Amino acid sequence: MPVRSLKLTKKMLFALSGLLLLIPETSVAQLSESDSIALSKVITDFKESIAQKDSIRFHGLFFSESVDFTGIMSKKTEWSIKKDYPDFQGIAVSNHKRFIRDICKTPKKQEEKFYNTSLSSDGTIGAISFDYAFFSGGKMIQWGNEKWNLARDGEKWLITDVVYSIHFPDIEAFPFK
C-alpha cells in the first residue's frame, strides 16, 4: 500500500510540474480556479486594449470613474532627470483615463509585457503583481514592478488602483527575460 501511495504522489507531482510549465511566469496563491481564470482575463484585456488602442474595453476594467495610477521612479532614474530639472520629484501620478488617452493619441505601436505574474484573492478582493516592460514604437521606454488591487463586482473583477516602479532601460539594465 505505501508503494502505491508513493507512485500516486510521483504521478501527481509530474502532472503538477507539467501544468507549471504551461504557465511558467505565474504564481497563484489562495485562488479558486474560477478566480484565477477571471483575474487572468483582466490581464489579457489590459494588454490587448493597449495593443489595440481600445479605450472602451480598457475603461471597462476599472472600478470607478477615475482610478489612480501612481508611478515611483527608482533613485537612478530620478537622478537622470534631476540633472536637468533639479526640482523634479520622481513621482508620476495619473489615472486610467489619461493613460489610455495618451496611448490612443500616439501613432506608435504600444505594448506592455508582463513577467513573473502573481495572482491572489479571497474571492472578494484580489491582487495582481508582476514585473513589466513598456514599449513604444517597438522600443522599451521603461520597466519595473507593478501592482493592481481589484474588487469583485458581481462576477467581474475590476481594478481599484495601480502602483508601479519606473526604471529607464538606458539608465538601469532590464533584468527580466
Does residue 102 lie within any of the structural domains? yes
pLDDT at 30: 62
Task: Give the number of domains in the chain.
Answer: 1
Answer for the pair 113, 22: CB distance below 8 angstroms, yes or no. no
3 domain residue, yes or no:
no
Give residue 159's identity as a one-letter amino acid code. I
What pLDDT does 24 receive?
41
Range of 60's domain?
25-166
Distance CA 167, CA 173 (A): 9
Q: What is the pLDDT of residue 29?
A: 52
Nearest CA to 61 out of 36, 92, 40 is that of 40
Query: Which CATH number do you get for residue 150?
Result: 3.10.450.50
- Return the H-helix or E-strand segment holding 163: strand 156-166
Q: How many residues does the chain have?
A: 177
- For the chain (length 177 residues), average pLDDT per consecutive 10? 40 37 46 93 98 97 96 96 92 95 96 97 97 98 98 95 98 92
In a domain, 20, yes or no: no
* pLDDT given at position 177: 78
Q: Domain for residue 144, yes or no?
A: yes
